[in-house]
Structure 1
Amino acid sequence: MGAEEQAARTDPRAAVRTHLASSGPLRVPLRRLVRHLAEASEPLPLAQLVRSSGLSRRTVETFLAVLGTDLVREESGLALRPDVAPEYRDLAGTPATELDAAQLATPDAALDPQLLEQMDALVSAAPPPVAALDHVPATAHTVLRRALWLAASYELTGRRILLVGDHDLTSLALMLVCPEVEATVVDVDERLLTFVAEQAHARGARVRCLAADLRHGLPPAATGWADLAVTDPPYTPEGLRLFCIRGLAGLRDRTHGRLVVAYGFGEHQPSLGLQGQRAMQQLHLAFAAILPGFNRYHGAQATGSASDLYVCQPTPQTWKALDRAAPPETHIYTHGRQSLEGERDPVPPETVTAVWEAADVAAEASTLVVGSGLADTAAPGVRHVRLDTVLTSGVPRGARADVALGNLAGDPGGWLLRVLLALRVERLVALVPADHPDLAGGSLHPDVAALLAPLYTVDSPRAAGSGYALLRARRTDPDRLSPHQRLLRRVLERPHGTVATVWREALIALAEDLGLGRLTKNEARARIRALNPAPELLEARLVDLPRQRMSALVELVSRSADAP
């Protein structure tokens, strides 16, 4: 006898609660099944229960077994004992939204005007789209309907949702519809992350923002975390595949977890649509539902300003496919340098020469080249490391060097700061796009310069031709740093460690440096807790925090140097 069957014999209602809690997306139709049984005036045939719930006979029979002695089996059908029916009505409760999921699946579904007004204000206030990142804003009606449909279909209270990219602001729509949901947004756009974090904080919503270029991986804090993953990816097969892989990596329940994907193609491009669907099917995903024309956009006229909503259910083969997945393509977008048709030519020889001249590498110095395209066959003893390795896990111990050269020519905006944090070299020269968002106005962005001050002094950028700029940085002399800056330096030098651990150890080391005696781990933890940092700061890695959260962390770390 199984544990669940044994529990059903002794306490059926407790067994039902346990079964519902562990049923993931099936919880909504199972609760519907309970309501049908609890409200029925006569026994119901099994076929009717299957039909009304929309669940397979096997799933219905498995659930009925959990009801144990509370279920009466008669020749005419199945019924709950009259004395327990009221308790089951309470147990089933009501759906998260009174709107039916099938009704919400239609693009012209009627929505609460007040909620729609709030969503429209958020969409209007959001940062403008970035064409190079394939940003096409969804309408406020679409985003709100998407959140309502998710709430009606999956009962989100107490659940975790991962938004793999969120320029459409689905996280904020969920905040309006279901405040109890816990959401994590992973995006490469710092402006978007700042906006979402500010709006969520103002409303007390549980929305965590993490910065990442998904081509280089999903932050560990988001990996294996979610019950449901949602994404509206670039509509190239490469972009679709990559965002699906990251969404799947974020699921913690490999049996009940779901991946919800927006994807569309023009009616005159069925071959393109087939390529996108094949990209998903190569991950062995079952299409549990395809809601045609669900999403509407301000733009994307090539797809009729619309896309379908795919509900993807992983199979056992999905997880094997993820393990075998090849490294992602760099060119995944439809616009800009990183588009499929974008520039793939190597860095011009004269620009490579300019990088090496700016580095001015002495004969005895060891050199590290980050990324490809800057090789100098005349330079002996040069070590190479992949850019994605530096961004995701740092520089391998055997690749430490005095001078570093970084090819960040494809940086969408977030690489530069994180590469500078990850490298522990005396001098660095980085090749970046001339229009890099952190170089506006001919100098490094003040927020970035302030964050890096305990580590580097950064020169003004200079043109390198062919649409590139060179940025040079020199390691700051640690002897000139104040105690606050020395503490910050220790934290910033370990960007791939969990913030709570790195901060604690930095406090202990500082106390020893200043001759203040030994600070225990518990004392260091208490000093950190006294500042009441947000859990999302402590649980994440520094490298995964949006710049705004990095600045907030730096302020708290600095204050902790003065704590008794």
Structure 2
Amino acid sequence: MDGTAGLPVVDGMDPRRVHTALSLLVDGQWWTLADLVRESAAPRRSVEMLLGGLELERGGERFRLTGEQARRAGELLEGAWRPFVPADPVGHLLSEHAAVVERLAEFIARAPRGRHVLDHVAATAETVVRRALLLGARFWLEDARLLCVGDHDLTSLAVAMIHPQVETMVVDVDERILAYIDERAAELGVPVRTRWADLRLGLPSSAESFADVVVTDPPYTPDGVGLFVARGVQGLREQGSGRVLLAYGASDRTPMLALKVQKALLDLNLVSEAVYPDFNRYHGAEAIGSAADLYVLRPTSKSLPAAGARAERFSAAIYTQGPQAVEAAGQVPVSAEDLGDLRADVLVGTWPNDVLPGVPRVRLSTWLAKPYAAKVRQVGVALPKGMDAALARVLLATRAERVRVITDDPVDVRELATVLDPVYELHADGRAVEAVRKSFGGGDLVSLVLRAVMDRAHGKVVNVWRDALIGVQPDLTKRQARALIAESAPWALDVSLLELPMHRLRELPGAVRECLAGAAV
């Protein structure tokens, strides 16, 4: 087991990782396996193999080298080849922002628990602050816009705290994260906007061509990285000057996986302008050493067309676990029987060719992107595996009298029924969710305005709301109506209803009520 200069050798373990791990162990302090993995950035399996060849003292989950083993390891290290350790580009700035690190550590500890089906692993507070510091060191941030494509790490809050002049938008599929970021941003008084999106179905229209810099820490599958980066490219307002910062890590033991990811980036015609090794550290992800590199990607003139062309291909299966994992890829099995007595005028999603062969078909991404041109009375929807979060938006995207959505598993629609009550009567029957549109008219002014807003979900909320407000309060000017909306719901500006996170949809009735009260004064 002896290698160069007598250092232990572990099959598949980079010698510099061996050196780093031993250097951490020789001072005699106690370690946990997770801490040693994170500090050495070596895969858990490699660290376990290394420890298997050493003499250890153990106390519960902690361990340390025996005195004699520490002495021998110290002697080996003293004359050993010392591998190159890349310089941290912003490490020297971190001490100036200790208070921000402490606050972010608190936020991360209180954040919603990571969802394994979304490959969530929390970055350390130091990591997200260093990301913010790198943005300031490398880019001109006056009047700059940042797009976070997924933000379980809370990078948006770190940037807002250190660079409050930056206008930040977060796009995520996890409703809990969006609500949490909004709460913390309000607490801090910083400019962060949130948008709901399942990136497999597209980027929100308000996020397209929005940003100068994009940050993303995606699922570490080739399709996951390719999809998130492609959406990031679509989010840049200037392809020539914009950059995408990508956190990506792979185990030293799986170089072919890293090669597949880099090929996905090459397919997007991106230049790797810089790569900072082990820049990102995590609470977890021990299979890859709880560490990931940070790529600075520069688009070329061919990147945006490639992003649009390849995003659908990348979206087949992007996670490592759950219903949208690579191993579980596939559509929800549907048949004509699933439609029951529905006489569909259009079928949305992927349906077998023998189901209502003469009825028009619409892709789910198209259905959400723009209003369907023809008038329809009844709609059948096949919702792909793992996309239950899109259900509310699928229903809001039509003005049909009746919609029947077939899901992979039965869905609890009680909360959704409350949110969509101004528009639909909702009930579930096994895998089918049935929505019947309520007749329009009657009710109080709040109900009338709410219904008008929810009937035009593809439109800008502020514009639809403004027109509905003037409809019930004719003395208002457009400017006055817009000002009332901005005061009651500043989050409703420059966004469609389909992009709003669920917590904003829940807040909408109260905001409409407050707006009408202001109009009556």
Which residue matches 2:38?
A: none
Superposition deviation, residue 258 in structure 1: 1.1
Counterpart of 2:414 in structure 1 is 444
In the alignment, does 2:306 pair up with 1:336?
no
**Aligned with 1:225: secondary structure?**
coil
Name the TM-score, length of structure 2 as normaliser.
Answer: 0.77
In structure 2, C-alpha distance between the alignment counterparts of 1:162 and 1:264, rounded to whole Å = 21
Query: SS at 1:454's partner residue?
Result: coil
Structure 1: gaps (5+ residues): 1-100, 464-468, 512-518
Per-residue Cα deviation, 1:254-287 (whole angstroms, up to 9, x for no partner): 2221111001111111111111111112222111
> 501, 512, 515: which one pairs with 2:463?
501
Secondary structure of the equivalent of 1:556?
Answer: helix
> Is 1:462–2:429 an aligned residue pair?
yes
Counterpart residue identity of residue 226, structure 1: A
- DSSP-derived class of the 1:530 partner: helix
SS in 2 for 1:331: coil
Give the distance between the partners of 1:345 and 1:159, measured in 2 at CA.
40
Q: Are the aligned partners of 1:293 and 1:307 in contact in 2 as well (CA < 8 Å)?
A: yes
In structure 2, distance between residues paired with 1:305 and 1:418? 36
Q: Call closer, same or farther: CA 1:451–1:375 in 2, change over 3 Å.
A: farther
User: Counterpart amino acid of 1:410?
Assistant: K
Partner of 2:275: 290
**2:519 aligned with 1:551, yes or no?**
no
Q: Give 1:334-413 correspondences, 5 Å limit.
A: 334-344=320-330, 346-347=332-333, 353=337, 355-357=338-340, 360-361=341-342, 365-373=343-351, 377=355, 379=356, 382-394=359-371, 396-398=372-374, 400-413=375-388
Distance (Å, rounded) in 1 between the aligned partners of 2:351 and 2:322: 19
Q: Distance in 1 between matches of 2:478 and 2:514?
A: 13
| SS of the residue 1:487 aligns to | helix
| Partner amino acid, structure 2, of 1:176 | M
Q: Which residue of 1 aligns with 2:57?
A: none
Deviation at 1:413, TM superposition (A): 4.1
Q: In the TM superposition, what whole-angstrom CA distance separates every residue of 1:180-208 from its partner, at most 9, and x where no partner exists?
A: 22110001111000000110011110001
Equivalent residue in structure 2 for 1:525, among 471, 479, 502? 479
RMSD over aligned CA atoms reads: 2.6
Number of residue pairs matched? Answer: 432
d(CA) in 2 for partners of 1:485, 1:335? 42
Contact 2:227 2:311 in 1 (8 A): no
For structure 2, the 5+ residue unaligned runs are 1-85
Name the aligned partner's letter for residue 332 of structure 1: I
SS of structure 2 residue aligned to 1:319: helix
Give the letter for the 1:167 counterpart: H
2:58 is matched with none
Displacement of 1:367: 3.2
SS at match of 1:372: coil
Corresponding residue for residue 130 of structure 2: 145
Measured at CA, do residues 345 and 319 of structure 1 come closer, stay the same or move farther in structure 2, by a change above 3 Å? closer
Aligned to 1:414: 389
Q: How do 1:175-324 and structure 2 match up within 5 A?
A: 175-322=160-307, 324=309
- Indicate conservation of the 8 Å contact 1:132/1:336, yes or no: yes
Shift, 1:210, TM fit: 0.7
Give the whole-Å Cα distance in 2 for the aligned partners of 1:423 and 1:376: 24
How many percent of aligned residue pairs carry the same amino acid? 38
Change (3 A) 1:163 1:292: same
2:496 pairs with 1:541: yes
Change in CA separation of 1:410 and 1:221 when aligned onto 2, cut-off 3 Å: same
In the alignment, the residues of structure 2 paired with residue 343 and residue 425 of structure 1 have an alpha-carbon distance, to the nearest angstrom, of 30
Taking the aligned partners of 1:227 and 1:547, their CA distance within structure 2 comes to 27
1 CA distance for matches of 2:106 and 2:89? 21
Kept after mapping to 1: 8 A contact 2:147/2:170: yes
Relative to structure 1, the CA distance from residue 111 to residue 137 in structure 2 (aligned partners, 3 Å threshold; closer, same or farther) is farther
Q: Give the direction of change, closer, same or farther, for the CA distance of 1:426–1:481 in structure 2 (3 Å limit).
A: farther
Structure with higher RCO (Cα < 8 A, 6+ apart): 2
Aligned partners of 1:477, 1:551: CA distance in 2, in Å?
21
CA distance in 1, matches of 2:88, 2:230: 30
